[in-house]
Amino acid sequence: MKNRPNILIFMTDQQNAATINPDHIAKTPNIDKFLKKAVHFTESYCPAPHCCPSRATFFTGLYPSQHGVWNNVEIDNALSRGVYDSIVMFPEELQKAGYNTYFSGKWHVSAYEGPLDRGFDVVLREYISNYGRILKENLPKANDWEHVYSGKVKIDGENEPKDFGRIIKEGYPTYYQFGSDENPFGDTDSVNLACEVIENYNNSQPFFMYVGATGPHDPYCPPQEFIDMYNVNDIHLPESFYDEMEDKPELYRRTKERFDLTEEEHIESLRHYLAFCSYEDHLFGKLLDAVNKKGIADNTIIIYLTDHGDYLGAHGLWAKGLPCFREAYNICAAIGGADINGGICNDELVSLADFAPTIMELAGVKSEVNYLGRSLVPFLYNEKAENWRTEMYTQTNGNELYGIQRAVWNKKWKYVYNGFAYDELYDLENDPLELKNLINEKSLQPVIKDMCKKIWAFSKGTKDNCTCPYIMVSLVPYGPGIILEK
């Protein structure tokens, strides 16, 4: 590239990573076309299976223990509501380097600050989640009592009629797992406004544009025309759907029971979710068309991402949460455009934290941040990245329903420490669907110790303070001190 490139990000919300694979049943013609000229990172993962900590990781290149966002920030019982005071987000540095910066769609990073506070010149539209921005004050929050449990919304009572797709639980708001909406979450508006900027852009300086969709987040309500693209008879539930999870934490089983649906309703949920992905693909296509029609494709880097995944029926679960399965953490990730060598599937372990240093290098801007993530640029130009990671780590303390959990995995083993239940160990080579928990196999204690040692070494490097030695909370099989052993 002769000039500094324009950079366009399209980030969906809660999209199962497999849905953009070429052999998947999801109909995504625009993504399929894009991937022929992009590098598709199939083993990309978020650090936590929730919007805010993952989005904070994207914008900072750091893990939750480093940036300070552990949960969704605008809920009443949030334990963290914004990033630490010293944190710099990469759009701020792009802005200082002369990029014209645009934001449209979902933010969901801080309850105290918005995109204008963090490096964006223009906010075209912001989708506000939960209860929106708040003042930075140490006061109790009880919005649910006022806005949900005060007669303002329908609450399920006794003997409610069981409509198709409805999940009933007495005393909670009425909820339908799926439906239809011609402009869900206003995603069409977010994309159309972004397209207008691209079509009319005549500035000599490059632009950085972030477009954040809120689909295919639950409830799964895409426009009807996309639902009609799928025949329910062609849709099948995943193999792990029938996992009874008797060898897994009780919370996992209790969460599964919350999705009190018939098998027909589960299949219809999948149909609506796939349709939602097709709708987001349609919106992504609008952005691609805008770039091409403007004649700037040769100097525009385009990145397709999601913040976290969706179980999509795996183990009988939907949405995302503490059940630490691949589907919640594996994310869509592809980089293309400009002079990138595309049509490549890369299966190296990639973190959402890698995209901040990658974007900075592509923009030719030297960052002052000591990123945890590493630049993916070598992979974009068929170069080798030296000493690339061989393990992936998670950091979550739960969300709304709290529970400390840390996990580490490589190509062979996956170990999950659960502070709220017994742990998990999976042989990923022989059990990629994570069906059999081997944590009680005595012969595998050396594996568990080794994985604990890896977690503690990573925790030390990221200043993760999940280290209290008090007798009531020191539940990890092997404590932090094992990293001192020679």
- Looking at the fold, whether 239 and 300 belong to one and the same domain comes out as yes
The reported pLDDT for the residue numbered 198 is 98
Which residues are 11's β-sheet partners? 212, 305
Q: Based on the domain organization, do 356 and 451 belong to the same domain?
A: no
Asked if omega into 47 is within 30° of 0 (cis), the reply is no
Other CB atoms within 10 Å distance of the CB of residue 257:
9
State the DSSP string of 53-69.
HHHHHHHHSS-HHHH--
CATH number of the domain that residue 428 is part of = 3.30.1120
Residue 207 lies in a domain: yes
Residue at 129 is within a domain:
yes
What does the pLDDT read at residue 151?
Answer: 87
What CATH number does the domain containing 45 carry? 3.40.720.10
pLDDT of residue 132: 85
β-strand pairing of 350-351 with 44-45: parallel
Whole-angstrom distance, CA of residue 157 vs CA of residue 458: 48
CA 174 to chain centroid, in Å, comes to: 26
Regarding whether 310 and 279 lie in a shared domain, the answer is yes
Dihedral Cα 142, 317, 351, 15, nearest 10 deg: -90
SS3 of residue 194 by DSSP: helix
Tokens 């649910």 belong to residue: 144
Cα 254 to Cα 266: distance, rounded to the nearest angstrom: 17
Coil, strand or helix at 97: coil
Residue 353 and residue 310 share a domain: yes
Residue 419 belongs to what domain range? 404-484
Domain count, the chain: 2
* Helix %, strand %, coil % of the chain (to 5): 35, 15, 50
* Domain membership flag for residue 57: yes
Return the pLDDT at 158: 93
- Written as six digits, the tokens of 50 are 């929730």
Residue 63 sits at the vertex; the CA angle it makes with 482 and 377, to the nearest 5 degrees, is: 110
Shared-domain flag, residues 221 and 349: yes
> Would residue 209 count as lying in a domain?
yes
Tens of each residue's pLDDT in the chain, 486 residues: 558 999 999 999 999 999 999 999 999 999 999 999 999 999 999 999 999 999 999 999 999 999 999 999 999 999 999 999 999 999 999 999 999 999 999 999 999 999 999 999 999 999 988 888 888 888 899 999 999 999 888 999 999 999 999 999 999 999 999 999 999 999 999 999 999 999 999 989 999 999 999 999 999 999 999 999 999 999 999 999 999 999 999 999 999 999 999 999 999 999 999 999 999 999 999 999 999 999 999 999 999 999 999 999 999 999 999 999 999 999 999 999 999 989 999 999 999 999 999 999 999 999 999 999 999 999 999 999 999 999 999 999 998 899 999 999 999 999 999 999 999 999 999 999 999 999 999 999 999 999 999 999 999 999 999 999 999 999 999 999 999 997
Instruction: Output DSSP code: residue 178.
Output: B
Classify residue 13 by burial, with Cβ atoms within 10 Å: 0-12, 13-18, 19+.
buried
Which of 381, 415, 447 is a domain's end point?
A: 381
Question: Around Cβ 436, how many Cβ atoms within 10 Å?
Answer: 14
Nearest partner of 80 among 395, 372, 479, judged by Cα:
395
Do 371 and 313 share a structural domain?
A: yes
Asked if 309 contacts 14 with a C-beta cutoff of 8 angstroms, the reply is yes
Does residue 215 sit in the same domain as residue 285? Answer: yes
224 shares its domain with 342: yes
Domain boundary among 348, 381, 414: 381
Give the pairing type, strands 413-418 and 401-409: antiparallel
270 and 230, same domain (yes or no): yes
Nearest to 375 by CA among 393, 392, 357: 357
Under 8 Å between Cβ of 64 and 393:
no
Coil vs helix vs strand at 5: coil
Kindly state whether residue 250 falls inside one of the protein's structural domains: yes
Whole-model pTM?
A: 0.97
Q: Are 297 and 8 in contact (CB under 8 A)?
A: no
pLDDT at 2: 59
